[in-house]
Amino acid sequence: MEIIKGGVTAAKGFEAGYTAAGIKYKDRTDMALIYSKKPCKTAGTFTTNVVKAAPVQWDRKVVTGKAKSQAVIVNSGIANACTGAEGYGYCEETAKAAAKVLGVNADGVLIGSTGVIGMQMPMDRLKAGIAKLAEAKNSSLENGTLAAKAIMTTDTREKEIAVTFDIEGTTVTLGGMAKGSGMIHPNMCTMLSFLTTDAAISKKALQKALSEDIKDTYNMISVDGDTSTNDTVLLLANGAAKNEKIVEGTKSFRTFQKALRIVNEYLAKMMAGDGEGATALLEVTVRGAKSKKQAKVIAKSVVCSNLTKTAIAGHDANWGRILCAMGYSGENFDPEKVDLFFESAAGKLQIIEDGTALDYSEEKATEILSQPEVRAVADIKMGKASATAWGCDLTHGYIDINADYRS
Amino acid sequence: MEIIKGGVTAAKGFEAGYTAAGIKYKDRTDMALIYSKKPCKTAGTFTTNVVKAAPVQWDRKVVTGKAKSQAVIVNSGIANACTGAEGYGYCEETAKAAAKVLGVNADGVLIGSTGVIGMQMPMDRLKAGIAKLAEAKNSSLENGTLAAKAIMTTDTREKEIAVTFDIEGTTVTLGGMAKGSGMIHPNMCTMLSFLTTDAAISKKALQKALSEDIKDTYNMISVDGDTSTNDTVLLLANGAAKNEKIVEGTKSFRTFQKALRIVNEYLAKMMAGDGEGATALLEVTVRGAKSKKQAKVIAKSVVCSNLTKTAIAGHDANWGRILCAMGYSGENFDPEKVDLFFESAAGKLQIIEDGTALDYSEEKATEILSQPEVRAVADIKMGKASATAWGCDLTHGYIDINADYRS
């Protein structure tokens, strides 16, 4: 398993394009295309929000349908959520327009949207953008990176990663790009994440690998507790690596799962660390739990706590807020047994032993919490299970971005 | 039923005291006493957080015990949470010290604490404070108000109210004071709220009235989603009004319930509107629900949404965030049927009809949302139930207060 350069175009047979279509933003790119020369088996997971954006409804149909996919069209200006039948109709129009210029089947065109909720899509600009994307697409790594840049909204940096791994003597590649900075509290899936692989793999194995992996990656991050209407993870496999076909329950499947974990965990952490206004990635590990579920619930409760997040913003070792957030998670544990540690590139410090504060150095704690990646580890001494969740600090930047997002 | 001046000293036979004991703050009052000449029947509800502060553990024992209560000692500097056996021991010491100077039974001394988690109580200063409180106590309305001021932490204004009502020809009074500005997301109870009544009422009726009422009042507010370790509501009844004793299932009990609702709803709204950094009270009503539970879950999801709260801070009619927060509440409804209205002293405006935005005036919407109390009403057209939740906007002030709370 090796991490290599690139993102969605790292795997064989995938191309990417990007363009400035002026959907909402001016003076920046706002549309991206992922294209596969060969039709792909596709797995997808989507938001559990009752209010589902039109492209989420469209993609679910595509992923569960019989047609293979060859293209993903993404725009980062308008979410196309709460847009009714008109908005869904625009998805059909988008797929048809893309199918025509790309020479692919419209039933297999996937759509990703992110941006303002409630506005209708300017179809003339979107269609002009699709035509430009089709012209501009190529398989260079640079195009993959610029596509990752084009799907950003309030993100401050593009998010991509690729890995190669060996399947029965054949080198297979898996790569991906994602965006997500606000309205991030994925539930059974996440904001926009697009993964491509040249692996030959059964559709069932592909969906299973994805559905299981998101529970420990995207579903363990939170920026603001708000589960989006547009959360989508798509995983396209075109088989171009020509490996022996991966099926469930084999060593190859486990290898594929490991690769997927690396890619998804990386992208999920990138999203959390690049949360709106964030200055730090907050990683919280709960260990010594009696079950993985218990560890997850407690860890996620801490990364979602506004008071913990503001304390991290202030580099303040206000551990009481962490214990408090653990306590209201809904899971039971004995507060008198908890050990708590802070860690970062600046060092490691035990803060609490058996529920009581140690005589630790506040200065050292502040130094540790002043790094761009900080970690809290809580041992609840009930069993052997552990889990990690990722979030970010809550700063003035979050307020600046969101108090007047639409203007 | 009449709202009158005053708070905890409005009811007959209750006295209050306040003092500057220097527990954590300097140059301000930080301790308060509620005292009843006659022993009181007492009802209480407490935090559901697994991490329970020492005074919460102490008060639960007092409320469920056989001794009647005559005094409540409150400090607003240190929460006495996560302080282990030492912290609990300080509660016992506090009760004994108060019992001695007040000439009451230590088993009936209630304790309220709020402030920093994890620090031990400076008992010498606390005991000196108790002595001063005992000297300073009297039954004036002014002392009630100044006690309400002494229990504030990051609150910007004291919170008190009193009502009188008739029980079978006898005038009965119920009053209360509360504090709460951060770490406010009550679950089965809330931050510190102290209620006094001169009603003669059975202990069972008293607890039942309180336990039911908090579900629609304190449990429907949220400032930051963080359920405190110290949430406590205490209701003391000394019987000094000499009314015919109130028991469950009678007209008098329903009258008492109505009075309690007025007092608790007022104090709960005061807490939400005075949330840390808040510039506006956000009231969210969901109507047309198939059950009260459904309406409550959806309404509370909206007042807890950081994105909705920042939009309110920016006076931005970003209704998509409200629909989004309704959608991830966990309750099902048809987004295509939702009507949404914004209301305030500046007027009323329908924003969405059947899930789709109307051609409303953004200017008027901004005007409505620029008031200190704003209201969103969502009709989900499934039934006849409704519920209201209260929260506040999320502003730079919240970050300022919490990024470095301990220093």
Closest Cβ opposite residue B50 in set A320, A333, A402: A333
Mean pLDDT confidence for B15-43: 94
Nearest CA in chain A to B397: A396
**Residue B297: other Cβ atoms inside 10 A:** 18
pLDDT the model gives residue B312: 94
Mean pLDDT confidence for B194-199: 91
A270, A320, B189, B261, B405 from A278: Cα distances, Å: 11, 22, 32, 41, 19
Mean pLDDT confidence for A39-57: 90
pLDDT the model gives residue B190: 47
Look at residues B300, B279, B298, B301 and name the one whose alpha carbon lies nearest to residue B288: B298
For chain A, the farthest-separated pair of C-alpha atoms sits apart, in whole angstroms, at 69
The pLDDT of residue A152 is above 50? yes
Closest-CA distance of chain A to residue B15, Å: 33
Taking CB atoms and an 8 Å cutoff, what residues of chain B touch A352? 82
Encode B267-281: b = buried (16+ Cβ within 10 Å), e = exposed.
bbbbbbbbbbbbbbb
Q: List the 206-245 stretch of A: residues with Cβ below 8 A of B.
A: 224-229
User: Considering chain B, what percentage of its residues have pLDDT values greater than 90?
Assistant: 74
Residues of chain B with CATH 3.60.70.12: 2-273
The pLDDT of residue B407 is above 60? no
**B191 Cα distance to chain centroid:** 6
- Strand positions, DSSP E, A304-372: 339-344, 347-353, 356-357
pLDDT tens-digit map of A345-396:
999 999 999 998 999 999 999 999 999 999 999 999 999 999 999 999 999 9
User: Considering chain B, what percentage of its residues have pLDDT values greater than 70?
Assistant: 98
Ordered DSSP codes for B326-365: HHTSS----GGG-EEEEEETTEEEEEEETTEE----HHHH
pLDDT the model gives residue B187: 58
Mean pLDDT confidence for B150-172: 92
Contact A224 B306 (CB under 8 A): yes
Structural element, H or E, at residue B127: helix B123-136
pLDDT tens-digit map of A99-123:
999 999 999 999 999 988 888 999 9
Rounded Cα distance, B218 and B230, in Å = 14
pLDDT tens-digit map of A185-213:
765 444 788 899 999 999 999 999 999 98
Q: List the 169-188 stretch of A: residues with Cβ below 8 A of B.
A: 182-183, 185, 187
- What is the DSSP secondary structure assignment for residue B154, as one 8-state letter? S
The pLDDT of residue A227 is above 90? no
User: Considering chain A, what percentage of its residues have pLDDT values greater than 70?
Assistant: 98
pLDDT the model gives residue A194: 86
The pLDDT of residue B189 is above 60? no
| Partner A contacted by B78 (CB < 8 A) | no
Mean pLDDT confidence for A66-77: 94
**Which of A324, A334, A359 is best to mutate for the B interface (most B CBs within 10 A)?**
A324
pLDDT the model gives residue A186: 65
pLDDT the model gives residue A225: 74
Mean pLDDT confidence for B3-10: 95
For the segment(s) A281-402, the CATH number from 3.10.20.340, 1.20.140.10, 2.40.50.100, 3.60.21.10 is: 3.10.20.340
> What's the half-sphere exposure (Cβ side, CA atoms, 13 Å) at B47?
31
Indicate the pairing of strand A170-178 with strand B339-344: unpaired
The pLDDT of residue B386 is above 80? yes
More confident residue, A183 or A65: A65
Contact B227 A320 (CB under 8 A): no
The pLDDT of residue B405 is above 80? no
Mean residue pLDDT of chain A comes to 92
Q: The tokens of B136 are what?
A: 């300073």
Taking CB atoms and an 8 Å cutoff, what residues of chain A touch B405? 310-311, 314, 316, 318
pLDDT the model gives residue A8: 95
Lowest mean pLDDT among A184-198, A300-314, B341-355: A184-198
Closest-CA distance of chain A to residue B290, Å: 16
- The conformational region for residue B103 under phi > 0 = left, psi -120 to 50 = alpha, else beta, is left
| Partner A contacted by B346 (CB < 8 A) | no
pLDDT the model gives residue A404: 66
B94-98: Cβ within 8 A, 24+ apart: B94/B121, B94/B123, B94/B126, B94/B127, B94/B130, B95/B58, B97/B126, B97/B127, B97/B130, B97/B131, B98/B33, B98/B71, B98/B73, B98/B130, B98/B134
pLDDT the model gives residue A182: 73
Indicate the pairing of strand A69-75 with strand A339-344: unpaired
Lookup result for tokens 């300017």: A122
pLDDT the model gives residue B188: 42
- In sequence order, the β-bridge partners of residue B124 are none
Burial (CB < 10 A; 0-12, 13-18, 19+), residue A85, is exposed
Residues of chain B with CATH 3.10.20.340: 281-402
Map residue A403 onto helix, strand or coil.
coil
Mean pLDDT confidence for A275-297: 94
pLDDT the model gives residue A229: 80
Q: List the 302-331 stretch of A: residues with Cβ below 8 A of B.
A: 304-307, 310-311, 313-314, 316, 318-321, 323-329, 331
Ordered DSSP codes for B46-88: E---SS--HHHHHHHHHHHSSSPEEEEEEESSB---S-HHHHH
Could you tell me if A192 and A74 are in contact, meaning their C-beta atoms sit under 8 angstroms apart?
yes
Closest-CA distance of chain B to residue A292, Å: 19
Lowest mean pLDDT among B25-39, B262-276, B365-379: B262-276
How many residues would you count in chain B? 407
The pLDDT of residue A310 is above 90? yes
pLDDT the model gives residue A187: 58
Q: List the 235-294 stretch of A: residues with Cβ below 8 A of B.
A: none
| CATH code given to domain A2-273 | 3.60.70.12
Mean pLDDT confidence for B143-167: 93
- Known binding residues of A: 153, 179, 190, 276, 402, 407
Edge-first strand order for the sheet with A339-344 is: A356-357, A347-353, A339-344, A373-379, A281-289, A385-392
Ordered DSSP codes for A246-297: B-TTSHHHHHHHHHHHHHHHHHHHHHHHT-TT-S-EEEEEEEEESSHHHHHH
A146, A195, B126 from A151: Cα distances, Å: 9, 14, 58
Contact A405 B316 (CB under 8 A): yes
The pLDDT of residue B185 is above 80? no
Map residue A204 onto helix, strand or coil.
helix
pLDDT tens-digit map of A319-348:
989 999 999 898 999 999 999 999 999 999
Read off the pLDDT band of B186 (50, 70, 90): low
Q: The tokens of A144 are what?
A: 């993959």
Q: Crossing angle for the helix pair B123-136 and B84-102, nearest 10 degrees? A: 30
pLDDT tens-digit map of B303-335:
999 989 999 999 999 998 999 999 989 899 999
Rounded Cα distance, A149 and A160, in Å = 9
pLDDT the model gives residue A188: 42
pLDDT the model gives residue A191: 72
Mean residue pLDDT of chain B comes to 92
Taking CB atoms and an 8 Å cutoff, what residues of chain A touch B352? 82
The pLDDT of residue B57 is above 70? yes
Encode A160-184: b = buried (16+ Cβ within 10 Å), e = exposed.
bbbbbbebeeeebbbbbbbbbbbbb
